[in-house]
Amino acid sequence: MSEGILVLNGPNLNLLGVRESSIYGNRSLADINRELEDMANKAGVRIEFYQSNHEGELIDKVQQAPEQFEVIIINAGALSHYSIALHDALRAIALPVIEVHLSNIYSREEFRHHSLISPVARGGIFGFGPLSYRLAFLAAWEIIKEKKGNK
């Protein structure tokens, strides 16, 4: 296993920057990924990004992750609230998972208040816009350092 972080993004996150900017802000997913790439380069850790609007493609990436990564950061978007299959895939692998949401899911519609990802995640960060991803990266990097024994 190589030292690395997989960042997974689910449905409609490819529309960041143009989709409901009052909720999700004006930053694109590419902008967020560039910031994380810079952080990864400074930390000396490999990072890979994957976005799909298709549940099965995300599940395939999750199942392949243990061979290549040490931590998964995931914003499953709407799949967070109803995908038992994604929940089961994350639960089946032996990797720490960090759940991310740009918005505060608990201040939104009632159906968003429950996440099927949270029970299989080591932790979650939500409500801070793009900062949520940077905070998740810092947590992932700490997990990697902890595994290596260099706190």
pLDDT digits (tens, 9 = 90+) for 69-127: 999 999 999 999 999 999 999 999 999 999 999 988 776 667 666 799 999 999 999 99
- The predicted pLDDT at position 106 comes to 74
Helix, strand, coil share (%) of the chain residues, nearest 5:
50, 15, 30
pLDDT digits (tens, 9 = 90+) for 126-138: 999 999 999 999 9
* Alpha carbon separation from 32 to 16, 38, 52, 59, 118 (Å, rounded): 10, 10, 16, 22, 22
Taken as a whole, the chain contains a residue count of: 151
- Give the active site residues: 24, 101
What is the rounded distance in angstroms from the CA atom of residue 22 to the CA atom of residue 79? 21
- The predicted pLDDT at position 107 comes to 63
CA 87 to chain CA mean position, Å: 13
- Confidence class for position 1, pLDDT limits 50, 70, 90: very low
Would you say the pTM of this structure is higher than 0.85?
Answer: yes
Domains belonging to the chain, first-starting first, are 4-148 (3.40.50.9100)
